[in-house]
Amino acid sequence: MTVPPDDGRAPRSVSPDRAPATTTADRLPHALDTPEIAERLRGRRPAVFLDYDGVLTPIVPRPEDAIMTEEMRGIVRALAARCPVCIVSGRDRAVVAELSGVDDLVIAGSHGFDIHDPQRGVIEHEASRGWEDLVAEVTERVRTAASAIEGTQVEPKHASVALHDRHVAPDERPRVAALVDEVLAEHPGQLKVTPGKFVHEIQPKIDWNKGKAVTHLIGVLDLDRPDPDGRPTVPIYLGDDVTDEDAFRALAERGDGDHREPGLGILVIDPADAPGRETSATAVLATVDEVGRFLDGLAR
Give the chain's radius of gyration (CA, Å): 19
| Residue 60 found at the interface with ligand L263DTV3 (CB under 6 A) | yes
| Residue 4 found at the interface with ligand L263DTV3 (CB under 6 A) | no
Contact 204, 230 (CB under 8 A): no
Using CB under 6 A, pick the residue from 13, 23, 34, 89 that binds ligand L263DTV3: 89
Nearer to ligand L263DTV3, 58 or 174 (CB): 58
Q: How far apart are CA 217 and CA 188, in angstroms?
A: 31
Contact 267, 279 (CB under 8 A): yes
Q: How far is the CB of 208 from ligand L263DTV3 (least distance, A)?
A: 14
Q: Which residues of 114-124 are buried (b: 16+ CB within 10 A; e: fewer)?
A: bbbbeeeeebe
Contact 54, 240 (CB under 8 A): yes
Query: What residues between 249 and 268 interact with ligand L263DTV3 by CB under 6 A?
Result: none
Helix axes 210-220, 245-253, angle to 10 degrees: 50
Q: Which stretch binds ligand L263DTV3 (CB under 6 A): 37-45, 86-94, 180-188, 285-293?
A: 86-94
Nearer to ligand L263DTV3, 246 or 261 (CB): 246
Nearer to ligand L263DTV3, 79 or 99 (CB): 99
Q: How far apart are CA 111 and CA 101, in angstroms?
A: 19
Nearer to ligand L263DTV3, 96 or 218 (CB): 96
> Catalytic: 51?
yes
Centroid of chain to Cα 214: 10
Q: How far is the CB of 43 from ligand L263DTV3 (least distance, A)?
A: 31
Q: How far apart are CA 140 and CA 119, in angstroms?
A: 34
Which candidate in 6, 7, 51, 103 is catalytic? Answer: 51
Q: How far is the CB of 162 from ligand L263DTV3 (least distance, A)?
A: 4
| Residue 241, CA atoms < 13 Å, CB-side half-sphere | 27
Nearer to ligand L263DTV3, 164 or 175 (CB): 164
Judged by the rule CB under 6 A, the positions of this chain that interact with ligand L263DTV3 are 51-54, 59-63, 66, 89-91, 155, 162, 164, 166, 196-199, 201, 241
Active site positions, annotated? 51
